[in-house]
Amino acid sequence: MADDKRFSENEQLENLAIVSYAGANMTAPNGQVIGQVCVLDHEPRTYTAEERRLLQQYAETAMEILELHQTVLENATAEVGR
Q: What pLDDT, in 10s, does the model give residues 64-81?
A: 999 999 999 888 887 777
> Which pLDDT value is given to residue 50?
98
Closest by Cα among 31, 1, 36, 6 to 16 = 1
Rg (the chain; Cα; Å): 17
Rounded to an integer, the average pLDDT of 54-63 is 98
Rounded to an integer, the average pLDDT of 52-59 is 98
Rounded distance between C-alpha atoms, residue 19 and residue 1, angstroms: 6
User: H/E element holding 7?
Assistant: helix 5-8
